Amino acid sequence: MNAPSRPNDYAAYPDADGRFGDYGGRYVAETLMPLVHDLDGAYTAAKNDPAFQAELTGYLTHYVGRPSPLYFAERLSKKLGARIWFKREELNHTGAHKINNCMGQILLAQRMGKTRIIAETGAGQHGVASATVCARFGLPCVVYMGAVDVERQKPNVFRMNLLGAEVRPVTSGAATLKDAMNEAMRDWVTNVSDTYYMIGTAAGPHPYPAMVRDFQSVIGAETRAQILKEEGRLPDAVVACVGGGSNAIGMFHPFLADESVRLIGVEASGHGLDTDKHAASLTGGRPGVLHGNKTYLLQDDDGQILDAHSISAGLDYPGIGPEHSWLHDVGRASYMTCTDDEALAAFHETAMLEGIIPALESAHAIAKLPEVAKQVGPDGVIVLCLSGRGDKDVGTVAAAMGLNL
């Protein structure tokens, strides 16, 4: 087996077949293949069209509220012994990074003449962002959401309803994000002429992993410029949580060529890697094919996909975007893990020290800051992607504390 070599030019990936090394590709039913090719063509044209980019930038500025601030987390820095900055994606409209991608995709869907939007959601953040842009542009929106997630993320379900979206609970399998994605793909294959599938993470058949990464790269591009202005130099480390991995890849990508910058993803290890209740695809899985791409997956000896577990619904997925699998194998990024309990502790600490209630997803990344701070030392500079706000999680956190709101 050939070990992947470190590429000279990260921006050249994926290749024309949608490959990041051995990962990615287009593993969907034939009925969808012509649509996937159409999307690839439409996205490539839009990407190279200054008018499209100008329109997107306009909405990101005036509707989403970009650029998001880069904030010096002074008290946390003092406590942990490093210079820690938060990239405040939770201050975006709808409260998470998800809207960056949805804004790009809704403009693309309109260019393609699509009249109906479908999406999958786990925590509901992507569902809310999808429902939001659909409301803004007047398109009907159907969101598939695992029945278990519908139950644990009720406020987001109601938000989607308020925005005019139809939320369809999915009861098959474990009734979480993976099953919602299956159901969205079934809808897409049934409604091929009018429907645009708005995937929420940097996974799925090509061009989704590259396209979602590109739309999310605004995070890293802004961060790079902001930290150079604030610190006069590049950070030593950049940290982000990883489920499917869209906030992480958006943060990492503009730093890939800066070899001095450590890129650190944090996977959810749930009850622990030594249990069967975790969601750490890279650390605890192996390569396979699911949902249109080849990537690391949690699977059993027979190649059946296992149910993931994380206290954070947004990380509760047995796969990961293919570019992360590649960055992991070539060693450009490293991946740590964080348990439910560690994430909860970081959630509370961030609220108390910085006055910011982070999403449980983001809390996974925060929980690893002490380790990263030790690596970079007191003068080291760390940027953490604070991907979402935690309002949606207060019920989950209360339950973990034994409280009933």
Partner 1 sequence: MSRIDAKFAALATEGRAAFITYIMAGDPDAATALEIMKGLPGAGADLIELGMPFSDPMAEGPTIQFAAQRSLAGGMSVTGTLDTVRAFRKDDDTTPVILMGYLNPVLNRGFETFARDAAAAGVDGLIIVDCPTEESGPLADALEPVGISLIRLVAPTTDDARLALMVRRTSGFVYYVSVAGVTGVKEADADAVAPAVARVRAASGLPVAVGFGIKTPERAAGVARVADAVVVGSVLVDEIAAAISSGSNENVTQKVLSKAAALAKAVCDARVGDA
Between residues 181 and 381, which has the closer beta carbon with respect to partner 1? 181
Q: Which helix (H) or strand (E) holds 362?
A: helix 360-367
- Give the residue among 57, 70, 64 at the shortest CA–CA distance from 220: 70
User: Among residues 17, 259, 274, 379, which is the contact residue for partner 1, using CB under 8 A?
Assistant: 17
Q: Does 26 bind partner 1 (CB under 8 A)?
A: yes
Q: Does 31 bind partner 1 (CB under 8 A)?
A: yes
Between residues 28 and 346, which has the closer beta carbon with respect to partner 1? 28
Please tell me the count of residues contacting partner 1 according to CB under 8 A: 36
Q: How far is the CB of 334 from partner 1 (least distance, A)?
A: 26
> Candidates 39-47, 129-137, 242-250, 301-309 — which segment interacts with partner 1 by CB under 8 A?
301-309
Between residues 307 and 354, which has the closer beta carbon with respect to partner 1? 307
d(CA 97, CA 77): 23
Q: How far is the CB of 191 from partner 1 (least distance, A)?
A: 8
The conformation of residue 132, written as its DSSP 8-state character, comes to: H
The conformation of residue 48, written as its DSSP 8-state character, comes to: T
Catalytic annotation present for 387: yes
Between residues 34 and 58, which has the closer beta carbon with respect to partner 1? 34
Q: How far is the CB of 2 from partner 1 (least distance, A)?
A: 14
d(CA 142, CA 188): 11
Catalytic annotation present for 120: yes
Between residues 250 and 318, which has the closer beta carbon with respect to partner 1? 318
Instruction: Give the three-class secondary structure for 21.
Output: coil
Catalytic annotation present for 78: no
User: Among residues 4, 67, 69, 173, which is the contact residue for partner 1, using CB under 8 A?
Assistant: 173
Q: Does 305 bind partner 1 (CB under 8 A)?
A: yes
Burial 270-286, CB ≥16 within 10 A → b, else e? beeeeeebbbbbbbbbe
CA torsion 315-319-324-328 (nearest 10°) is 110
d(CA 207, CA 218): 18
- Give the residue among 388, 405, 262 at the shortest CA–CA distance from 336: 262
d(CA 67, CA 92): 9
- Give the residue among 8, 3, 14, 20 at the shortest CA–CA distance from 259: 8
> Candidates 74-82, 236-244, 293-301, 363-371 — which segment interacts with partner 1 by CB under 8 A?
293-301
Q: How far is the CB of 315 from partner 1 (least distance, A)?
A: 18
User: Which positions lie near partner 1, rule CB under 8 A?
Assistant: 17, 25-35, 172-173, 178-179, 182, 185-186, 189-192, 288-292, 297, 299, 301-306
